[in-house]
Structure 1
Amino acid sequence: MSDAEFGCEHLRDVLERDERAAGQFHQSLLHAYKGQPPKPAEIRSLKPFYPCLECSTLVNRDSVTDSRTNTIFCEGCDDYVYDAELESFLFDPSGLKKRKHGDPETDDDQAYVGANASKRVCGKEGVRGLFNLGQTCYMNVILQTLLHDPLLTTYFLGNNHHTYDCTVQNCISCAVSEAFAEFNNDDKAEGFGALNLLLASWRSSPILSGYQQQDAHEFYQFLVDKLHAGTEDHVEDHNKTCRCFFHNAFYGKLRSSVTCDKCGNVTQMEEQMVDLSLDVQVQKKKRALGGGEMSTTPTLDGCLQSFTSPEKLMADAYNCSGCGNTPQKATKQLRIRKLPVILCMQLKRFEHTLSVSEKVEGKVDFPLSINMLPYTTRTHASNNNNSFTYDLSSAVVHKGKLDAGHYYVYCRQGEQWFLFNDDQVTAVNEAEVLSADAYLLFYTLHALSGSK
């Protein structure tokens, strides 16, 4: 008998125990499959309820079914299991046949199932979904991104935030630290809900409170700001040098240079940045003005080039100090003065005008690795190119309309990519990640050594 004949050895024991036990199991499975879901008032837990398939009650037993997906969860295996004959039974209960020894599937089918089946298909380290607590997919995708970053994992699991003696009310750092501890709990593999982070966010920001959909990009900015503010050695004034962990991890610096077209006077200003907001339409607009081809797919490199390219300012937008503070035409250029370790890039898909707010659809090509040197204030190549090389770690996608969409995220765990759609986790390949219509891209510095 091959392993593929039954979902697992525990399921085999139930179905082969006797005809009465097998019959009870089949009837319970059919009832769970066709039954009505529980009413909201009956749900007392964020986790799915599991009706037992051996006694039909809501208790933990060897074999239960997930109320959301009707898939069978085996408590003995501590994992979901798949049984082809039970799936056939659900579609045609009248066609149930007694399993017999010596009557296996064909050799070819057995070879296929054996090569593609695993009793622990989701039992991978660092792969846990997050329950949607009510329009909280925006929070889940950002939290998954942070949970899969090795630098942040080292920080929080290393007890660098002392939750045991923290006296800050509604502390975001405590809530995130708790999420890291739960996520890396080796004794659990199922999804969990980041309820304390949600509540702390609501209490810290009235804008976030409630079950309405939020912008994942804005939540990322809020979370980074709160983590920075919750560090003991942080400097509140962003115009002063801050050497705290989160400042170095998340914050970079932009330099704005304005050159007077008349006298050549240069005015420079620097400001903190926690991400780069890139216009995905600017390349198409420039090609349209120049009579170029508009069908070419925009690229991340092209968006960065447009972001750091010189921009002409009209005379009413700039007063030159070298020309007696009189209005002059000038050229403005943005460059990156300092890069953070974790670089977030927003591909601006939400446009707001006085008359309308709409979402900009369209694919933007992005790479698995990118050299950020051409977009910095450095004029010459560095001896240490690793200081500017970034690897893709996460890609957040928004599907749907502006005010009624859904977020999911692709995250890299080691060398493998996974799709996290709330508590549903799926292994994917690089090609699927690169074909995504990303909204937020997170890149991590390839090597932490060297100066920027």
Structure 2
Amino acid sequence: MAETTSDLAPEFGCVADCRSGSIWCQSCEDFIYDTEVDRVLRDTSKDLQRKDLLSKKRSMSEALAYADAEEASYLASNSNKRICGKDGMRGLYNLGQTCYMNVILQTLFHEPLLTTYFLGHRHRMYDCSESNCFVCQVAEVFAEFHEEKEEGFGVLNFLLSSWLSSPDLAGYQQQDAHEFYQFLVNKLHATAEDHVDGYEQKCRCFFHKAFFGKLQSSVTCHRCRNTNRTEDPIMDLSLAFQVQRKKKALHWIPGDSESTPSLNGCLDSYTAPEELPASDYNCSWCGTPQGATKQLRLRKLPVILCMQLKRFERHRSVSEKVDTKVAFPFSINMAPYTTSANSKNIFKYTYDLLSVVVHIGDIDSGHYLAYCRQGEQWFKFNDDRVTWATDAEVLDADAYLLFYTLRSLSGS
């Protein structure tokens, strides 16, 4: 076989077979070896092997073994991933201050259960008769994200659909990523074929099971010890860290890492008993105003758990953003914050970090970016710019929204 360098003479015609890597020289009438082409092929092969390793996930059947039988059966039957689907890492073009939308979509794109649902054609766009169907629009962007392409793309049709669905979103003004997430979840639930209207009824649609949980509020009278319990649906938790930060600041010791507010500390404060004065509570059993103790607990956890850190505060006519760092873990056991706080089944309550949404700038202007996990690797999504991210970089981010996904159903 003839051999040449990478600087092939332009007057000699060469034909390359991209599948085998072979190069045929029309002048030599023989296969030739090119060192530069060989290097490129070796590097490309290594990249493909690395991506293949990162994209491997634990099988759905193994993950579902730890989940509630009824819930697992329903979610699994509605989440069959298309075999030819690709685990994409594509950016999204900013269509005019639409970074708030991009970070939420990137978060959902990387959630395993939603990916298997939409790529498994559980919502059949070709059979859907609904005019301007919102679920169809979401299914379309999921499909486009997982195409065999690497360049960024724009979700103009989805943006216009969201504008039509919510006049508050229409236009190119600044929007809040948390509010957009709430809009998106509510819209998916409302347009699901088998959804049930009204929170007092039990809805069994896929999106309700994936996004919604239940929060229980218990108020115990100090006099008669009667406890009044109410339940409300939730799609996220809004956690304050200002009180935790101020308490730690009063007892701060140089070099003490515990002076940094933490997500667990926020959850502890959120579910801690709160004393209510008699002026704020009228006991239904005693029939008179009495002092009472109120406590919030999670009655039911969603598969996708969104936690908002309250960084935007408004005091009368003054608004400000709090830039304090809040520490958060890669995985968290939510059992201590539920009505089953003493449960030994940690698999049922263990969540893994899926996405970290960061807001850069002040309260009136700024920019959103997101860190999302793909397999075991983290990526930074800054609109259409996608870069690798280290674990340390993710944990050091000033999180505004934290998305965790249930380990027993996500395949993490």
For 1:215 and 1:363, how far apart are their aligned partners in 2? Answer: 20
SS in 2 for 1:262: coil
1:280 aligns with 2:241: yes
1:385 aligns with 2:346: yes
1:209 aligns with 2:166: no
Paired position in structure 2 for 1:160: 122
User: How far off its partner does 1:286 sit?
Assistant: 4.0
Kindly tell me the number of residue pairs found equivalent between the two proteins: 341
Asked if the contact 2:274–2:293 (Cα under 8 Å) also holds between the matched residues in 1, the reply is yes
Asked if the contact 1:201–1:208 (Cα under 8 Å) also holds between the matched residues in 2, the reply is yes
SS in 1 for 2:342: coil
Asked if the contact 1:390–1:445 (Cα under 8 Å) also holds between the matched residues in 2, the reply is yes
> Unaligned stretches of 5+ in structure 1?
19-75, 77-112
Asked if the contact 1:170–1:203 (Cα under 8 Å) also holds between the matched residues in 2, the reply is no
Counterpart code for 1:231? A
Q: 1:375–1:420: structure 2 CA closer, same or farther, 3 Å change rule?
A: same
SS in 1 for 2:223: coil
Asked if the contact 1:284–1:294 (Cα under 8 Å) also holds between the matched residues in 2, the reply is no
User: How far off its partner does 1:314 sit?
Assistant: 1.9
Q: 1:119–1:437: structure 2 CA closer, same or farther, 3 Å change rule?
A: farther
Counterpart code for 1:174? C
Q: 1:179–1:164: structure 2 CA closer, same or farther, 3 Å change rule?
A: same
For 1:261 and 1:146, how far apart are their aligned partners in 2? Answer: 45
Among 255, 265, 279, the alignment partner of 2:216 is: 255
User: How far off its partner does 1:355 sit?
Assistant: 2.0
SS in 2 for 1:336: strand
Counterpart code for 2:206? F
TM-score w.r.t. length of structure 2: 0.78
SS in 2 for 1:319: coil
Q: 1:294–1:272: structure 2 CA closer, same or farther, 3 Å change rule?
A: farther
User: How far off its partner does 1:294 sit?
Assistant: 8.5
Q: Which has the larger radius of gyration?
A: 1
Q: CA RMSD in A?
A: 2.6
User: How far off its partner does 1:121 sit?
Assistant: 6.8
Paired position in structure 1 for 2:402: 441
Which piece of structure 1 moves more, 439-448 or 123-132? 123-132
Among 76, 92, 97, the alignment partner of 1:130 is: 92
For 1:232 and 1:407, how far apart are their aligned partners in 2? Answer: 32
Counterpart code for 2:164? R
Q: Percent identity?
A: 64
Among 154, 163, 177, the alignment partner of 1:193 is: 154
Listed one character per residue, the Cα deviations across residues 117-158 of structure 1 (whole Å, up to 9, x for unaligned) are 769979954110000000000000000000011110110011
Among 143, 150, 154, the alignment partner of 1:181 is: 143
SS in 2 for 1:177: helix
User: How far off its partner does 1:178 sit?
Assistant: 0.4
Asked if the contact 1:287–1:294 (Cα under 8 Å) also holds between the matched residues in 2, the reply is no
Paired position in structure 1 for 2:202: 241
Q: 1:147–1:120: structure 2 CA closer, same or farther, 3 Å change rule?
A: farther
1:26-425 map, 5 Å: 125-186=87-148, 188-287=149-248, 291-293=250-252, 296-324=259-287, 326-382=288-344, 384-425=345-386
Counterpart code for 1:176? V
Asked if the contact 1:254–1:270 (Cα under 8 Å) also holds between the matched residues in 2, the reply is yes
For 1:432 and 1:244, how far apart are their aligned partners in 2? Answer: 37
For 2:139 and 2:302, how far apart are their aligned partners in 1? Answer: 21
Counterpart code for 2:147? N
Q: 1:379–1:419: structure 2 CA closer, same or farther, 3 Å change rule?
A: closer
Listed one character per residue, the Cα deviations across residues 217-239 of structure 1 (whole Å, up to 9, x for unaligned) are 00000000111112111111112
For 2:115 and 2:366, how far apart are their aligned partners in 1? Answer: 30
Counterpart code for 1:171? C
Counterpart code for 2:95? L
Asked if the contact 2:92–2:383 (Cα under 8 Å) also holds between the matched residues in 1, the reply is yes
Moved over 4 A (4+): 117-125
For 1:407 and 1:215, how far apart are their aligned partners in 2? Answer: 9
> Unaligned stretches of 5+ in structure 2?
12-17, 19-38, 52-86
Counterpart code for 1:293? W
Q: 1:121–1:190: structure 2 CA closer, same or farther, 3 Å change rule?
A: farther
Which fold has the larger relative contact order, with Cα–Cα distance below 8 Å and residues 6 or more apart in sequence? Answer: 2
SS in 1 for 2:408: coil
Paired position in structure 2 for 1:62: none
Q: 1:420–1:120: structure 2 CA closer, same or farther, 3 Å change rule?
A: farther
Listed one character per residue, the Cα deviations across residues 72-124 of structure 1 (whole Å, up to 9, x for unaligned) are xxxx9xxxxxxxxxxxxxxxxxxxxxxxxxxxxxxxxxxxx99xx76997995
SS in 1 for 2:285: helix
